Amino acid sequence: MHAPSRTTFARHARRALPLVVVLMAAPSAASAATGPLLSLTPERVSNGHLALAGQPWRVRVVMQPWVEGQTATVRFYRHGHKLRVVNVNLTMSPTGKSGMAVVAFGTTKPGTVEVQATHLATPTAIQLVAKPVRVDVAALHAAPGARGPAVRLLQQRLAAKGYVVGQRGLFDQRTARAVLAFRKVTGMARTNVADTSLFKALLAGKGTFRVRHPEHGKHVEADLSRQVIALIQGGKVQRIYPASSGKPSTPTIQGSFRVYSKSAGFNTKGMYYSDYFIRGFAIHGYAEVPVFAASHGCLRIPIPDAISVFRWIKIGDVVDVYP
């Protein structure tokens, strides 16, 4: 027999089926990690983890994916002591991709509450354990010198409304003045203590300074009935300070004026960093700023706030003074 020629090999090669190579991608780390999951999320808390004593909050339990007929057990602990155990039925979420339940909780005692959740194995779903979450429950009271989560929450909410607070987490003198200003604006007793009623008012959204003259652009408003001044820009409150206006025998002049002169430092009358808006009437720092009207006609503000206010106010800025 003769060996096949090169022509014969070529003819058979043309008839052969083409070789197809399929490359299979390796599963990604994300897809490999995807699987049944149980999770906990605190709700109605501040900063994701802060609640107030006596105020209700809750946790949301989510199981992914959705499997009909599943339950979860939620446990609440404080310092290792079991506070509450709740068994819940998981219902389908609006997306249909997970099961969920909401568990309400609240305590009158401050401290850290740890929340745990488990799902026991069933014929259709494996056992799952959620990563624990912690909620700091703060007392509904804070006074000068205090520290902690209640103070941080207090400062955060006050600052959001324009009240000037101090060192984060410390109830310092600047925070005390912010509390006093908030109490003045809301008509509460004029003290510097943040008690239960103040926290509740703050959490309810009260204490907003109502701007009377947004059309005046960058300006100052002095509310004589509330004994506060507010620095306004673009129709929004930038800062709010406690103040003391003229006593009944020497009342502060009312109306709209423009700052015409500025004087840095102390003068012979004890006025500190003064912004004059008509004749001898000025906004200035002073050693004594009681909670009532006590000046000779000027708008007194605390000495530690005077320089900041002085730098903010410019010649020509409007000062609105009203009852």
pLDDT tens column, 194-218: 999 999 999 899 999 999 999 999 9
pLDDT of 19 above 50: no
Percent of the chain with pLDDT over 90: 81
- Could you tell me the CATH number of the domain that includes residue 155? 1.10.101.10
What band does 27 get if pLDDT is binned at 50, 70 and 90? very low
- Could you tell me the CATH number of the domain that includes residue 99? 2.60.40.10
Q: Give the total number of structural domains in the chain.
A: 3
Listed residue (155, 157, 114) closest to 137, CA to CA: 114
Q: Is residue 209 part of a domain?
A: no
Do 184 and 107 share a domain, yes or no? Answer: no
**In sequence order, which residues have a C-beta less than 8 Å from that of residue 310 and are 6 or more positions away?**
262, 264, 273, 274, 275
**Helix, strand, coil abundance in the chain, percent, nearest 5:** 20, 40, 45
Q: Is residue 156 part of a domain?
A: yes
List, in sequence order, every residue forming a beta bridge with 117; answer none if it has no partner. Answer: 74
pTM above 0.85, yes or no: no
Higher pLDDT, residue 35 or 170 = 170
Listed residue (159, 189, 188, 155) closest to 171, CA to CA: 155
Q: Helix or strand or coil: residue 100?
A: strand
Q: Helix or strand or coil: residue 12?
A: helix
pLDDT tens column, 140-171: 899 999 998 889 989 999 999 999 999 999 99
Parent domain of 317: 214-322
Residue ranges in the chain assigned as alpha helix (H): 6-15, 29-33, 149-160, 173-186, 196-203, 303-312
| Domain finish residue from 119, 138, 157 | 138
The pLDDT assigned to 34 comes to 64
Do 318 and 219 share a domain, yes or no? Answer: yes
Inter-CA distances, 187 with 37, 150, 175, 208, 226, Å: 50, 22, 18, 12, 7
Q: Is residue 22 part of a domain?
A: no
- Could you tell me the CATH number of the domain that includes residue 292? 2.40.440.10
What band does 311 get if pLDDT is binned at 50, 70 and 90? very high
Do 168 and 230 share a domain, yes or no? Answer: no
pLDDT tens column, 246-259: 999 999 999 999 99
Do 305 and 261 share a domain, yes or no? Answer: yes
The pLDDT assigned to 21 comes to 33
